Structure formats: C-alpha cells, structure tokens
Structure 1
Amino acid sequence: MNYIDILKMGFVINWTAPDCQHCEKMVEDVDLIIISSYICFCKDKSYLKICGGEDGKLNVKNKIVIAVGSAVIGAFAVIIAIYFYKRRKNTNKSYAKSYAQSRSLSSELTSKDLESGSQYFGRSQNFGVQHFTYKELEEATNYFDPSKELGEGGFGTVYYGKLYDGRSVAVKRLFENNYKRVEQFKNEVEILASLVHPNLVSLYGCTSRHSRELLLVYEYVSNGTVADHLRGKEAKHGKLTWPIRMNIAVETASALKYLHISEIIHRDIKTNNILLDAHFHVKVADFGLSRLFPYDQTHVSTAPQGTPGYVDPEYHQCYQLTDKSDVYSFGVVMIELISSLPAVDITRHRHEINLASMALNRIQNQALHEIVDPTLGFESDSKVKKMIVAMGELAFQCLQSSKDMRPSMDEVLESLKDIQNGGKHKSQPEVMDISSLSDDAVLLNNVPPPLSPDSNVRSNYTTPNTSG
C-alpha cells in the first residue's frame, strides 16, 4: 500500500517505555487529534487511559464521542461485510468463468494436436510441446511445496520439480485463472514452442484440458538469475567477474537478435529474467508479455507493459512497441552489468532513482567510473577498463530516448563481440575500433549528449534502420 492509503485507513503505533509514567508522558507529547484512548502494557497489568478523562473514567464529552464513533464504526463494519460478501460471490462466478475459459483453451489446443496426430512419449502435444496432467506436476513439486519455490515469473509462481523420467523442471503456476492470464499462458506456449536457441529457456510442455490449473513446464536452470549474482543472495560470492559479465551481455544479445529475426519482441528484458546455468551461460526466460511482430509493420500499438526502469520511454509515451523497445531495456541491463546497481532505487537522489538517467548523465559528463562496480578491476586492469568504457558507450546509444537513434540488436551484438575480442571482430565496418583508443576519455569525448525524440542527428554507432 502507498502511504496515502495507510493514512486514510489509520494505523496503530506502539511505543516502548521503561514504565507506566513514561508511557503516559509519550502519549501526552503526541498531537492527539483523533485518539480518544490508549493502553499502557505495564509489568503488573494493562491500563486503559482515556484522553481528557481520568483513568478508566469517562467524562460526558468522551462518552458522546465514543458512542458516536462506535455507531459509525459499526455501520462501516456492516457495509464492509456486505461489500466483501458480494465481492466473494462475484469472484466465485469469475473464477468459474475463467476456469471454463482455461479448460476451453486446453481443449482447443488439444483438438489441434489430435488433428495433427503428433505424439511425444505417447501424449498429444500443445503447439508441439508435451502434455502434462495436473496430478503428475503436483507430485513433481511435492504438491507445490513452498520450500520448492524458485521465484515469481511474469504471471505466476515458479516451483522446482522432478518428473517421473528424472528430468529437473521449473513449473510455473498461474496466480489466478482469469482471461488475461489465460491469454498470457497461450502467448507463452505459442511463442516458446516455435523457438530453438541455446540462450533461450526451453519449454517442455504444459497442462492438458483435464487440468485444474494452467501450468507451464520449463527446463530447470540451476544457477539463479543475473540479478541474484549482481546484488542478491549470490552477490557476496563475487562469481560474476568481468569476463563472465561480458559473455552474459553477448549471449543475451544473441538471444534477442534471434527473437527479432523470428519477429518476436520480448518486452520484459531485465536481469531478473536472464537465468544462468551451472557454467554461467545465459537462458533468457519469461515470455508472458512477448508479442509476435510482423515485419510488414513498423510498430504495434499497445498499452505499455513491462518493468519500471526498463520500459522504453518512447513506447511509454506513444504506445508504439518496436524491436527497439528491447534494445532500450538491454541498454539498462548492460549498465547493470557494469555497475551492479538496480534499475530503480528510491533511496538514491531523486534525479538518479532511474539507473538509465544516472548512466546517461555520468557518461555524458565523462564520469562513468563513478558508477562502475569497484570489484571489476576498472582502475587496476587497463584491458578491463577499455572494455567497460566501450560497453558504456554502447549502452549510451541503446538508451537514447528516440528509437531511431538506437542501434538494432544485430548491431549491438556485433559491437559486443568486437569489444569482447579487443577490436578484432570486424564484421561491421562502422563499429568503432575499440583497440585504437588510448583511454576512456577519448571514447567518452566522442559521446553525443542525450538526443531528443525529434532529433535528425544520428550517433556514431547507429546505422539507418528500416525495421522500425
């Protein structure tokens, strides 16, 4: 809840005082606008104190106040009870409707599979993926044991499970069965079933039309998320060295390039959705918000969805989703890899709550070093320093407010490979020669200031793009 709602509802304040006298004194020091009584929990017993009256004795004014207050509260309680009763009744109807929709969806998927005659271990398939029963997934996760929770995806809780055939899996369980969730379920199945890439998480299957709930079954990726290793439970181990971070950027860009070639926009690229296997190779996950994007269109008009701090500002303003929206989000990810800082942090200065804004400011003012993770060896290793500065420059281009000023994901990938190989990867002639730079100041001096959405000037890194 936000603080306004809390103030409207009211709240209880507890003070700790050494004795009853201190308790009474503390309450007297508070501006008692609404409070009419308070309780002191003392060592011997609890004492009810009435404001404006003597201990336990009510004066006439307080009796009237309490009587009126009680009547109002009583009426309010009755209204709330009626409201929740009706809401529960409507919820039950809604659940029954959404359950029917989910069964209808599963039935639709199953009928398509039966028509195609496809089989996998003797089961019919949904869009080419395996069919699971609710019972076997329930048993695989030990009846959705809370201790087996891996985290939360775009629209459900994810549990670790082990199938009868010995495979370790991640089972995503919907938060609720409403129409929106059913659509996201269908969207994720349809998209993932058609994709094969080493850096995309594999979808093993989903539940059948006989299932009580809609469940998705993925390959289990054992090493957590990039966010976990940057600043979460795995961060203290310091396993994400710069070479690993560099490789994470390259593999994530490779996955996104593949998606864009496949006419798919991920729409929710963030470090929480980039999984790592035991060897720190990338598996991009969570396609609940993804959109199929035909290349005969320049954009798709849709209400902005995604995670604060990663959402393309032009998409947010114009409701126009393009492949460059993923490029922007990936720019934020690159800055996270450099800094280990979260995309949004309300404890930072108000102009720096958004990491993208902070990074643009630092790079423009030749102060990238101020946000670099000190454990990466930026000051002690000239090679690492050059690579970090180059990635910062590339991220700067990706974070431009106008989509036309951002490189394509193909260009981003080629630039990252060039950075990783010290300037020796030259499949793109327009990529800046990183190895020719003597220091980071030269590179940052070439960085243009943030560009406005209507600017016609193109940056060094950007080539004309016709896809959108």
Structure 2
Amino acid sequence: MGCLPSKEGTASVPVSKSSKSVPSLSTAKVSTADDGDESSSNIRFLTYDDIKRATDNFSNVLGEGGFGKVYKGRLRGVNGDDDEDVTFVAIKVLAPHSFQGIEEFLNEISSVESVQHPNIVKLLACCTEKVKALVYEYIPMGDVDALIAKCSEGKAKFSWADRMKVIMGTAEALTYIHRQRFIHRDFKASNVLLTEDFTPKVADFGLAKGIDDWKTHVTTRVKGSMGYIDPTYFESGHLCDKSDVFAFGLYLVEILAGKSVLRQGFAEDIKAWLYEADALSAEDMLDLSILNEANKREAHAIAIIAKQSTARDWADRPTMEEVLEVLKIAIKLPEAPRKDNESQENGSCMTAL
C-alpha cells in the first residue's frame, strides 16, 4: 500500500469541471461522542459514493491481498479546508472477512487514528457504508521490500546513508507505537513505505493491539506475516511487544544484506547467522553493492542489535526503546582506521558494544 502525497498530488490546481466531481474531505462527516463512539471523534467518514468517485469507480488498483484491495484515488480538501486542491490518496477497501463487524472495524480505526507520527502513514478518513474502507496519505515511492528486490536486480540504488536513515526512522516509529501502548503485530519490510527523500513511513497498523492486554492475551488465531512472526508468539499464542522487536531484528538483517527473509534459501542463512556461534561476521553478510561505502562499525553494531532482537526468549530481547537508544549511538560511531593488511574480523557479532 503506498501512501504519502507526491509532488504531483500536493500541488494546488484550479477546480475544473472534472475536478469538481472529486469528493472533498473537508465536507466529510466527523464522528462525535453522540455517534456512540467517543474514541473516534476526530475521524472523518466518507460515503460509499465518495469512495467510488475518488477511485474512479474502483479502477486504479495499487495492490491487493487477503485483506482486500488498495486503490489510488483523489480527494479535495486533504491539506485543509481549501477545496482548490486535489491530492492523491491511497484507499484500502477491505475484504468482507477482514473484520468481524462494524464495532471491531471502528475499534481498529480508533487505534490507527490515535497514532500520529512523522514516520507512520497517516489515516485521513474511512467509510462504513456498503464497504469498509480506510483512506491514507499516498506515498508514491514504494516499500523497503520492493526497493531491496530492485537493488538485488541492479535496478535501483539504496545507499548506506539512506539505509541508516530508513533504519532510524523505522525504529522511531515502532518505539512511538509501543509508547502509545500498542503492538503493530504485522511489521515487515513491505509495510515500510518510502518518500522521495527516503523518509520511512510504517503502514498497515490495522492489526495493532492494545498493550494493556499483553499479560493476559492468548489467541488461537495468530495474526501477522509468515517469515516475520515471532516463533514464541506462533507456538504459544501469547502476544508481547517483543514480537515487534523480533520482526524489527529481521528487518535490520534484510537492510544490511539486501535480501528478503522470504527469498528462497536466505531464511536458512539468516537462521545460521543469528543462532550459530561460528556464523559469518557482519561484514560478510553485507550487501555487496554497498560493501565499499558501508561504515563497518555501524554495520557491526546494527548486526549485534539484530541478533539480540531475535533472541529466542522474550526476556533476552531488548525493548524498542532500548533498540532506538543503541541505534542513536551506533550511527555516530566513527569509522575504525584500517591497515592495508588488516583482515576481516572473525567470529560472532554478539560482542558487547
């Protein structure tokens, strides 16, 4: 799902005959406590006709999956009450089975709407008439998973500096989510969208669960994406913030290595690297396309964080708050002086910082 207004989308344009048919967010109904859902008081509700017109009769599909389909759409009034402005948006129309009912859907909306952060995709509005739909800001540059795939094919560039920016922004977002007492539950590289300047935006917050339920929550229906699901959560049904930390650890490995955890054969390499004492060093795991520009000390420190974050036991994993603090230190590490005859460091990356 792509979601932040592009330069094309944020530009103000005269309201022509055709653009007047574009629905306006500024005139959409805003829910109030009188509607019976006080927690959703800042959410704007669009009608089914609004959604249909915004997507040009559901004609521009950006992506689809088990959740439903995401369409590229247009709305007026996104950047304020000025209707002399048409902005691109991403509209996720959920499959009927995605939620049990309207109450659960509204609860999910309330969760997403309450989480506002520069590194989290912004929810603009929703629809509950005929279809359940979520309207997000539109981000045109795709996601981290797609970028990694393009880089591996030599079709895109993902510099070391940009990777560090993406890692830091993503860590900021997950830390904020946990501070707001939520768990993402479906964090993965394809749910991190990128703006043109490589600012990351965490998306698909719809599976989020309140942190107050952590100690008592047990489910027989594990939610998330295979390959990223915390094995402890998968086996026991017990949910914890450390499940997000586990997924973030895998995400760090993907960015360092330039490979997806879902790539055939790479999952076993990751498992060996994370859990075997004589595994390859951080430098050996680095994406070859950035080997010469990468700061080896930063890479080594991030590799340590990845290993600690994916520890088998929850108690051995850091919190996202702790991960963020270590990352802030790690990216400031100076490059270690290298001798001409210096060999690559050997052994495990679990050495203390």
TM-score (structure 2 length as normaliser): 0.79
8 Å Cα contact 1:228-1:234 kept in structure 2: no
Where does residue 134 of structure 1 map in the other structure? 48
| In 2: Cα distance, 1:229 partner to 1:309 partner | 18
Contact 1:389 1:440 in 2 (8 A): no
C-alpha change, 1:180 and 1:341, in structure 2 (3 Å) is: farther
- Which residue is 2:87 aligned to? 167
- For 1:391, the equivalent position in structure 2 comes to 302
In structure 1, C-alpha distance between the alignment counterparts of 2:101 and 2:286, rounded to whole Å: 39
Q: 1:113 aligned to 20, 32, 40, which one?
A: 32
Is 1:375 matched with 2:292? no
Partner of 1:275: 193
Corresponding residue for residue 151 of structure 1: 63
Distance 1:344 1:414 in 2: 29
Match of 1:204 in 2: 124
* Cα separation, partners in 2 of 1:134 and 1:444, compared to 1, 3 Å: farther
Look up the SS of the partner of 2:70 in the other structure.
strand
Q: Does 1:406 align with 2:317?
A: yes
Instruction: Give secondary structure in 2 for the equivalent of 1:143.
Output: coil
Q: Residues 172-251 of structure 1: matches in 2 within 5 Å?
A: 172-176=92-96, 179-180=99-100, 182=102, 185-208=105-128, 211-232=129-150, 236-251=154-169
**Structure 2 matches for 1:415-454, cutoff 5 A?**
415-422=326-333, 444-445=347-348, 447=350
Distance 1:131 1:445, change over 3 A: closer
d(CA) in 2 for partners of 1:228, 1:258: 25
Matched residue of 1:310: which SS?
Answer: coil
SS at match of 1:300: coil
**CA distance change for structure 1 residues 264 and 219 in 2, over 3 Å: closer, same or farther?**
same
Q: Which has the higher helix share?
A: 1
Deviations 1:361-392 (A, max 9, x none): 57742444443210012xx34x6222222211
1:203-233 Cα offsets, whole Å, 9 max, x none, are 001014xx21111100111111001100049
Structure 1 residue identity aligned to 2:202? V
Does the Cα contact within 8 Å between 1:141 and 1:161 map onto a contact in 2? yes
Cα deviations by residue, 1:445-465 (Å, 9 ceiling, x for unpaired): 5627xxxxxxxxxxx57xxxx
Alpha-carbon distance in structure 2 between the residues aligned to 1:153 and 1:183: 23
| CA apart distance, 1:396 | 0.7
Between Structure 1 and Structure 2, whose CA radius of gyration is higher? 1
The answer as to whether partners of 2:39 and 2:110 remain within 8 angstroms in 1 is no
Mapping 1:242-321, distance limit 5 Å: 242-294=160-212, 298=215, 300-303=217-220, 304-321=222-239
Contact 1:328 1:400 in 2 (8 A): yes
How many residues end up aligned between the 2 structures? Answer: 314
Q: Tell me the alpha carbon deviations over residues 169-225 of structure 1, each in whole angstroms, 9 at most, x when there is no partner.
A: 1000112256537566334311111111100110001014xx211111001111110
CA distance in 2, matches of 1:372, 1:340: 7
Deviation by residue 1:381-432 (Cα, 9 ceiling, x = unmatched): 4x62222222111101111110111111011111111121126xxxxxxxxx
How much does 1:341 deviate? 1.3
Q: Percent of aligned positions with the same letter in both sequences?
A: 31
359, 369, 376: which one pairs with 2:273? 359
Superposed CA RMSD in Å reads: 3.2
Q: Which amino acid aligns with 2:195?
A: D
In 1: Cα distance, 2:137 partner to 2:343 partner: 41
Following the alignment from structure 2 to structure 1, what is the Cα–Cα distance between the partners of residues 151 and 126? 30
Alpha-carbon offset, residue 309 of structure 1: 1.1
Distance in 2, matches of 1:184 and 1:358, equals: 40
Q: Helix, strand or coil for the counterpart of 2:245?
A: helix
CA deviation map 1:97-154 (0-9, x unaligned): xxxxxxxxxxxxx996261799xxxxx9944111111112211111111xx2222367
Question: Secondary structure of the equivalent of 2:118?
Answer: coil
- 8 Å contact kept, 1:160–1:169: yes
* Cα distance change, pair 178–291 in 1 and its aligned pair in 2 (3 A): closer
- Cα deviation, residue 440, structure 1: 9.5
Q: Tell me which of the two structures has the higher relative contact order, counting C-alpha pairs closer than 8 angstroms and 6 or more residues apart.
A: 2
